[in-house]
């Protein structure tokens, strides 16, 4: 798979309503993308799968939905005002701009021209709150969701009567003024994160780090992502972010190379200690079993919704002799079942619509009566719909339909009454 595959995926996304360039009628805006009907559904399903794995299937994690705009001191305390920078260089010849770490030396990777000295560039978007644009009213769009969790640590601890270890999970938008956004939705300036911060006793941090590392890899495997295309990358001392004592990335093998889709960090007591220092508020935990007070250590798992979605699309994309098929896991596929009357007469559309109405109570259904049946199947294969139901003349006499499965195109004959239970347990 090469970059031509990326081109095909980008074009499929636009054509079929997964992802459009943002503000397209005005010529688009670099690095911003809009999710169309199918993209919005896929994104929702991915977020739901993450949210359920964190807050439903376990009983040690609470959810949170914090404000995007926060007190500016948050970003002082977190180190983002002073340290959330990338070094950028410009090519003196072709004028292109690069992140310093994308260039291997003094020369432009595009044209070989000479590069300028590196300048530091803060990635946070600044804006103003209130009517007066002055220094004191400067605020930031959050570049990560994590800080909303740290500043609410005491609130969640008290209101949900938790004991350590426990976690707080959040899904939400984050903004970074990336120097060189590229590779479709891989690097955007506005994106979404799914982050969970797990608060632990300092002496158990290592153990929890290992537990979460495995858990998070398993989540991608459970989404149906090919194991061979997933790997861990351990950060060397030079790569470690300022807040972490240990970090692993989960990487996926995209057509443009192995790249990070999620970061797993041991953040020690860095965050709570700093927020305590800057806010003057006590952020210690009292352990009533030992009578000791301490600042909890934090294991962070930080995934990008958009990168998870791109991973699902790239991993699912397949070309066969006479069809393109997205082999999306039924769990996340936007449409679960297509319903097709074989022909537009003899009571078949009515019978098919009745089945659609019944199944709609359980799943996202697409009804289609136009064109040849082969064409209708292929259109659904291309957007990843795992099942197709065809209503034919026999349906009218014995209440059975054919159910076609996207991946092997095999068909079985089922009773209408059995359809919903058959499908629900396969989603």
Q: Which of 263, 384, 386, 388 binds ligand ATP (CB under 6 A)?
A: 263
311 binds ligand ATP (CB under 6 A): no
- Which residue, among 345, 328, 315, 371, has the nearest Cα to 379 in the 3D structure? 371
In the complex, minimum distance from the CB of residue 308 to ligand ATP, in angstroms, rounded to a whole number: 7
260 binds ligand ATP (CB under 6 A): yes
Q: How many helices (H) and strands (E) does the chain have?
A: 13, 23
- 282 contacts: CB under 8 Å, gap ≥ 6: 276
Q: Report yes or no: 205 and 165 within 8 Å, Cβ to Cβ.
A: no
Q: Find the helix or strand (DSSP H, E) in which 231 lies.
A: strand 230-234
Give 233 or 378: the residue with its C-beta nearer to ligand ATP. 233
Cross-strand partners of 171: 194
Q: Which of 43, 80, 162, 187 binds ligand ATP (CB under 6 A)?
A: 187
Q: Which of 16, 43, 176, 404 binds ligand ATP (CB under 6 A)?
A: 176
39 binds ligand ATP (CB under 6 A): no
Q: Which of 307, 336, 376, 406 binds ligand ATP (CB under 6 A)?
A: 307
304 binds ligand ATP (CB under 6 A): yes
Binding mask 105-144 for ligand ATP (x = CB under 6 A): ---------------------------------------x
For residues 41 and 93, what is the distance between their CA atoms, to the nearest angstrom? 44
For residues 292 and 237, what is the distance between their CA atoms, to the nearest angstrom? 32
Give 312 or 339: the residue with its C-beta nearer to ligand ATP. 312
147 binds ligand ATP (CB under 6 A): no
Nearest residue (beta carbon) to ligand ATP: 304
Residue 362, phi then psi, degrees to nearest 5:
-115, -25
13 binds ligand ATP (CB under 6 A): no
For residues 143 and 172, what is the distance between their CA atoms, to the nearest angstrom? 11
3-state class of 179 per DSSP? coil
Q: Which of 41, 62, 271, 306 binds ligand ATP (CB under 6 A)?
A: 306
Which tokens belong to 256? 């443009």
For tokens 């002055």, name the residue: 134
Q: Which of 55, 145, 193, 197 binds ligand ATP (CB under 6 A)?
A: 193
Give 89 or 365: the residue with its C-beta nearer to ligand ATP. 89
302 binds ligand ATP (CB under 6 A): yes
The site that binds ligand ATP (CB under 6 A) totals a number of residues, namely: 16
For tokens 């807040």, name the residue: 243
261 binds ligand ATP (CB under 6 A): yes
Which tokens belong to 298? 């934090």
382 binds ligand ATP (CB under 6 A): no
For residue 291, what are the CA distances in angstroms to 159, 272, 281, 331, 350? 21, 20, 20, 46, 70
Q: Which of 90, 178, 346, 369 binds ligand ATP (CB under 6 A)?
A: 178
Cross-strand partners of 411: 404
Where does this chain bind ligand ATP (CB under 6 A)? 144, 176, 178, 187-188, 191, 193, 260-263, 302-304, 306-307
């Amino acid at each position: 798979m090469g970059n031509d595959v990326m081109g095909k995926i980008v074009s499929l996304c636009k054509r079929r309503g997964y992802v459009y360039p943002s503000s397209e009628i005005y010529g688009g805006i670099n690095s911003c993308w809009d999710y169309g009907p199918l993209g919005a559904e896929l994104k929702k399903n991915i977020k739901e799968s993450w949210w359920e794995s964190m807050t439903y299937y376990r009983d040690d994690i609470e959810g949170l939905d914090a404000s995007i705009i926060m007190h500016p001191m948050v970003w002082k305390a977190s180190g983002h005002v002073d340290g959330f920078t990338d070094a950028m260089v410009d090519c003196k010849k072709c004028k292109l701009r690069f992140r310093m770490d994308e260039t291997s030396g003094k020369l432009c990777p595009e044209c070989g021209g000479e590069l300028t000295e590196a300048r530091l560039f803060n990635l946070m978007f600044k804006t103003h709150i209130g009517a007066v644009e002055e220094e004191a009213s400067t605020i930031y769009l959050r570049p990560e969701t994590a800080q909303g969790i740290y500043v609410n640590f005491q609130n969640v601890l008290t209101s949900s009567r938790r004991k350590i270890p426990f976690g707080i999970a959040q899904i939400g938008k984050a903004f970074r003024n990336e120097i060189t956004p590229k590779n479709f939705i891989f690097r955007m300036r506005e994106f979404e994160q799914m982050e969970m911060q797990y608060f632990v006793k300092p002496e158990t941090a290592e153990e929890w780090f290992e537990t979460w590392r495995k858990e998070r890899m398993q989540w991608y495997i459970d989404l149906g992502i090919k194991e061979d295309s997933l790997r861990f990358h351990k950060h060397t001392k030079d790569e470690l972010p300022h807040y972490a004592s240990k970090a692993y990335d989960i990487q996926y093998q995209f057509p443009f190379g192995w790249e990070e889709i999620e970061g797993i960090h041991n953040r020690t007591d860095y965050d709570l200690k700093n927020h305590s220092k800057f806010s003057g508020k006590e952020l210690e935990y009292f352990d009533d079993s030992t009578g000791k007070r301490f600042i909890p250590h934090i294991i962070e798992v930080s995934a990008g919704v958009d990168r998870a979605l791109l991973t699902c699309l790239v991993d699912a994309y397949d070309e066969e002799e006479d069809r393109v098929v997205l082999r999306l896991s039924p769990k996340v596929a936007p449409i679960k079942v297509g319903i097709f009357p074989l022909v537009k007469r003899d009571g078949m559309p009515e019978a098919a619509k009745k089945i659609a109405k019944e199944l709609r109570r359980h799943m996202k259904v697409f009804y289609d009566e136009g064109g040849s049946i082969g064409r209708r199947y292929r259109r659904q294969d291309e957007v990843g719909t795992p099942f197709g139901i065809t209503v034919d003349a026999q349906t009218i006499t014995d209440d059975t339909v054919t159910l076609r499965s996207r991946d092997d195109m095999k068909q079985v004959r089922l009773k209408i009454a059995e359809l919903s239970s058959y499908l629900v347990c396969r989603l």
